[in-house]
Amino acid sequence: MATTATTATTMLRSTITCPECGHAETETMPTDACQFFYDCKGCGAVLKPRPGDCCVFCSFGDVACPPMQQAQANGAPVSCCAE
């Protein structure tokens, strides 16, 4: 699993898997904002968050975005920078 810790609970890298072609790419996530769009490096599809998700990492990544990780670790209501 390709992850990099910023604290004991926050990971900065997530592997996004394209639902169109299955291409997987490990990317560094922004720590202070949600990423709403991602261009697949395999087929060029523009990925957008699924309904109810705040960003492409929460929808297609193997690790949730840092704001979601921090909310979960702190026992806060699970929400993100979208709210």
What are 22's two structure tokens? 């299955």
The rounded distance, in Å, linking the Cα atoms of 1 and 62 is 9
Tens of pLDDT, residue by residue over 7-64, are 457 899 999 999 999 999 999 999 888 899 999 999 999 999 999 998 999 999 999 9
Beta bridge partner(s), residue 9: none
Tens of pLDDT, residue by residue over 2-23, are 444 444 578 999 999 999 999 9
Amino acid 81: pLDDT: 54
How many of the other CB atoms lie within 10 Å of CB of 49?
21
